Amino acid sequence: MSADDALEFVQKTHSALKYVCEKILSEELNIKGKRFLKSEYILVPLSYYVYKKNLSITPSNVESIKRWLILASFNKRYTGRLESDLKEDIELLCEDKGFQDLIGKLGTQSIVEEWFDRPYEEEHLLTLMILLRDAYDMRKGTVRLSSLNQDELHIHHIFPKSVLKKCLGTI
């Protein structure tokens, strides 16, 4: 591989990662920072998929990505067998498989109510931010959560402190 070929590959990879972060995660899914991701390695298959699709993602692709992202987070994908999981998922994407096929590799392929009884972690906030992407402040009639600075977002901005104290005892 020549230096020019390597540089072109790096530029295409950069474009794919930027597309994932800005267009898919931020705009489509309301995920505006890495603190909402269970693992930063989740960006690898997302970026590779976008790279293979030449930055052309359809609404149905976004729906599959959304489902996979939530399920992969709750299944703790890329937090244990990191290299094996990445290899397995990238091989599937190399074979022109999609996120439905990646979901098939997860321990649980559907949302389970018990997941929400676990201690509060990134996957809970990720799911909440996706679900609340288009949430409105009914008093102001405007989108509220997606316009907040998510670095300053705390759980009591979504659930009132009184509810959290009642359910959790402390916050």
pLDDT over 60 at 157, yes or no: no
pLDDT over 70 at 61, yes or no: yes
* pLDDT reported for residue 163: 56
Residue with tokens 């992969």: 72
Q: CA–CA separation, 24 vs 17, rounded Å?
A: 10
Band (pLDDT 50/70/90 cuts) for residue 19 is very high
Q: Show me where the domains of the chain are located.
A: 3-133, 134-171
CA 70, 39, 31 angle in degrees (round to 5)?
55
Task: Read off the pLDDT of each residue in 125-146 and give the average, rounded to a whole number.
Answer: 64
* pLDDT reported for residue 39: 86
* pLDDT reported for residue 86: 94
**pLDDT cut 90: percent of the chain above it:** 34
pLDDT higher for 114 or 131? Answer: 114
- Mean residue pLDDT of the chain comes to 80
Task: Read off the pLDDT of each residue in 151-158 and give the average, rounded to a whole number.
Answer: 54
81-112 pLDDT tens trace: 889 999 999 999 999 999 999 999 998 888 77
Task: Read off the pLDDT of each residue in 41-54 and give the average, rounded to a whole number.
Answer: 93
pLDDT higher for 132 or 50? Answer: 50
Number of Cβ within 10 Å of residue 155's Cβ equals 14
Q: What is the pTM of this model?
A: 0.74
**DSSP assignment string, 70-101:** HHHHHTTTTSSSHHHHHHHHHHHHHTT--HHH
